[in-house]
Structure 1
């Protein structure tokens, strides 16, 4: 009897399961908002190692999990790297204009307080 290799698939909510309060909660944290801004600016998928957050590795992992479980990001493995992409199509379909508004407001705030 052969045993299948463990799956490297990560659980993500379906579009129908994404809730506004979960998305807003995920985006309310400055570190998570920073991650989302970087992914949005890149326009593609970025590896977890790309982000240089001023928190511990375990806290960084927690932030990515919150974003994934809220339906804000999609995480997939490419080799040994965990890649992170914004679920823009799902978020725009459910909450039109929300992500663009949040990202624009975050950019204005960063410029105003010098936190780029």
Structure 2
């Protein structure tokens, strides 16, 4: 399988970050990944088709929000929290707090999590 390209920390721009996070499903994915666990794509639950979920994960990866790792035919994803905190201190924490307060992304979960209420 082809190795995925991830932007270097200096390539992560605020505009790309905010654009990537401009969708409730993607914010939900970031909320799920904010527990700092690596997740298999198959563990992620969202109210979209698998192809759409794949697109959302690609947008997050291309913006530098997540890192994808392939193992055989399986893909795993994790949040690039340290990189984002180094590049834009406080932005991720503020976004996660606001999303939690507003319920943005509540429809997204992981297989081992119950849906947020």
Report the TM range for the smaller structure's normalisation.
Answer: 0.7 to 0.9
Moved more, 78-87 or 25-34: 78-87
| Aligned-residue offset at 1:36 | 0.5
**What is the TM-score of this pair, normalised by structure 1?**
0.85
Match of 1:4 in 2: none
Unaligned ranges ≥5, structure 2: 108-115
> C-alpha root-mean-square deviation of aligned residues, in Å?
1.7
Find runs of 4+ consecutive structure 1 residues off by over 2 angstroms. Answer: none
Give the structure with higher Rg (CA): 1
Q: Secondary structure at the match of 1:84?
A: strand
Q: Indicate the structure whose relative CO is greater, using CA pairs within 8 Å and at least 6 residues apart.
A: 2
2:26 to 20, 26, 32: 32
Bigger helix fraction? 1
**What is the TM-score of this pair, normalised by structure 2?**
0.85
2:13 to 19, 24, 29: 19
For residues 53-82 of structure 1, the C-alpha deviation after alignment (integer angstroms, 9 at most, x for no partner) is 111111111100000000000000133321
- Listed as ranges, the matches of 1:1-116 within 5 Å are 7-41=1-35, 43-110=36-103, 116=116
Unaligned ranges ≥5, structure 1: 1-6
Provide the aligned length of Structure 1 versus Structure 2: 107
For residues 12-56 of structure 1, the C-alpha deviation after alignment (integer angstroms, 9 at most, x for no partner) is 111110110111111110000000100103x21111111111111
Equivalent-residue separation in structure 2 for 1:100 and 1:79 (angstroms): 33
